[in-house]
Amino acid sequence: TLAKLTRPTRDAITRYDLDGDLLTYAIDTFDTPRVVIPADDEFRARLVHEYPDAPAGGHLGREKTFAALSRDFFWPRMYKWIRK
* Statement to judge: residues 28 and 2 lie in one domain: yes
For the ranges 5-9, 57-61, 64-68, 73-77, which has the lowest average pLDDT? 57-61
Q: How far apart are CA 65 and CA 73, in angstroms?
A: 12
* Statement to judge: residues 27 and 51 lie in one domain: no
pTM: 0.78
* Statement to judge: residues 45 and 82 lie in one domain: yes
**Model confidence at 72: pLDDT above 80:** yes
* Statement to judge: residues 17 and 41 lie in one domain: no
Radius of gyration of the chain (CA): 15
pLDDT (tens digit, 9 = 90+) per residue, 42-65? Answer: 999 998 888 765 544 556 678 888
pLDDT (tens digit, 9 = 90+) per residue, 10-54? Answer: 888 889 999 999 999 998 888 899 999 999 999 999 988 887 655
Picking from 31, 39, 35, 30, the residue whose alpha carbon sits closest to that of residue 19 is 35
User: Is the Cβ–Cβ distance between 56 and 18 less than 8 Å?
Assistant: no
Report how many domains make up the chain: 2
